[in-house]
Amino acid sequence: MIMESLYKLKSTEAKCRSVGIAHDMTKKEREECKTLVNEAKVKNDSETGDWIYRVRGPPGQIKIVSFGMQ
């Protein structure tokens, strides 16, 4: 619930805008995330078309997602 409402920090006072919050991940989860980010970069560079690839999801359920560009 907290992670879903973090976007509200952008509209608060200046001292709260610089706060950075991220999921607490294990070493294995960080390595998996890094691998998937590299795969997404390769897909973005190699494939042409109206798609971009990003890594999304909470720790343990992270995956590469394609988004259509407009």
pLDDT of residue 36: 95
- pLDDT per residue over 13-67, tens digit each? 777 767 777 788 899 999 999 999 999 999 999 987 888 999 998 888 999 999 9
The 10 Å Cβ neighbour count of residue 59 is: 15
Q: Check: CB of residue 26 under 8 Å from CB of residue 16.
A: no
pLDDT of residue 50: 85
